[in-house]
Amino acid sequence: MPAERIAMHNIKELLRLKYDCALSHERIARALSISKGVVAKYVKAAEASGVGWAELAAADEARLRALLGTTPRPRGAAVGYVMPDLAAVHQGLKRKNVTLALLWEEYVQAAPGPTYQYSRFCDLYRDFAKGLKRSMRQVHRAGEKLFIDYAGDTVPIADAETGEISRAQIFVAVLGASNYTFACATATQSQADWLGALGRALRFIGGVPELIVPDNTRSMGGEPDRYEPQLQRTTAEFARHYGVAILPARPYKPQDKSKVEVGVQIVQRWILARLRHRRFFSLAELGVAIAELLEDLNARPFQRLPGNRRSAFETLEQPALRALPATPFQFAQWKKAKPNIDYHVEFDGHYYSVPHALVG
């Protein structure tokens, strides 16, 4: 039968009844609806601590636990068994082809003492995973996906000569497994800016993932389609050049790109909010400021997992990325045109001759 568990405020009340009221163990047990054995256990622990009742009464919960030696073990942990590093297990599962069975075998081999059986190891990990931020669980493998989008917030750029204000757009890219983040400023959200910023993101991470997931925007794809999003010709050529698949998120399905939705929020809070009091006169100046804060963002420690975005990227994602091509992508814009009777086509306000056989 497992030992009775008692809240810390009840332990303090137990000691008050013992030392202030001088009640017997039996009366204290009846007053608090616990067994006499539990009363004797905590009275003995208080005496063994060598601390008087006045100090125990003034101690907070953490201090009282330390004095009485009642600091709780991790949930589900058993006495005498080596507790696995569940945070490391969680990160390890992001590696391609790594399973809980493999991580359990490595835990058994490395542990200096008795270890849990595989079923208990899995239960401990699932309990740990439930304690992470509550959200729809999506497992992202290392080097698998890069999520991209533009932030809703913009940054004003002032023309030094005329004082005219333009709004710089903020491009954000986030790797799935490590949350390693890239951000830069562009003049617009045109197809040229989308692909140019994406090329800079790939150079920033130093490799190519298996899949890129953009928003379902007309700049990257054709007409938005709920079931079969199609890529524009230039976007498809970009994908072929880098040897990557581009799969736009479905319309009205934010869960398809939840990583970058969170990444955009973090960039807005930790980069754009810090720049709100500064005035910029060019995209290049803004880009330098963003790059400086981006280093700090990727070095910020995780709240529940070991390390930070940079260390997770270097450990998990970087080895799994494919090499970049020798040359960057050269942007080309395609347009369907019908030759006139003078066998010329118009593009961007200019006229170009074509073979006369194409007329009609």
Going residue by residue through the chain (360 aa), what tens digit of pLDDT does each one get? Answer: 345 567 778 888 888 888 888 888 888 888 888 888 888 888 888 888 888 888 888 888 778 877 777 655 555 555 578 888 888 888 888 777 778 888 888 888 888 888 888 998 998 888 888 776 555 455 678 888 899 999 988 999 998 888 899 999 999 999 988 889 999 999 999 888 999 999 999 999 999 998 888 877 766 665 555 555 566 788 888 889 999 888 887 665 666 566 778 888 889 888 998 888 899 999 999 999 999 999 999 999 988 778 899 998 998 889 989 999 999 888 877 777 788 878 888 877 788 888 877 776
Residue 105's pLDDT is: 87
Q: How far apart are CA 182 and CA 215, in angstroms?
A: 16
Domain definitions of the chain by residue range: 8-68, 86-130, 145-320, 333-360
pLDDT digits (tens, 9 = 90+) for 75-126: 555 557 888 888 888 888 877 777 888 888 888 888 888 888 899 899 888 8
CA-wise closest residue to 73 among 1, 14, 5, 130: 5
Cβ-contact 248, 216 below 8 angstroms:
yes
Report the pLDDT value the prediction gives residue 49, as an integer from 0 to 100.
81
Q: What is the pLDDT of residue 139?
A: 66
Q: What are phi and psi of 290, to 5 degrees?
A: -65, -40
Instruction: Judge whether 86 and 126 are in contact, CB under 8 Å.
Output: no
Separation of alpha carbons 267 and 41, rounded Å: 52
- C-alpha distances (whole Å) from 47 to each of 10, 16, 30 are 17, 13, 22
Whether 17 and 28 have beta carbons less than 8 Å apart is answered as: yes
Start-to-end CA span in the chain (Å): 91
CATH code of the domain made up of 145-320: 3.30.420.10
Residue 22 CA neighbour count, 13 Å, CB half: 0
| pTM (global) more than 0.85 | no
pLDDT reported for residue 5: 62
Q: From CA 197, how far away is CA 184, in angstroms rounded?
A: 7
Angle, vertex CA 202, rays to CA 196 and CA 206, nearest 5: 145
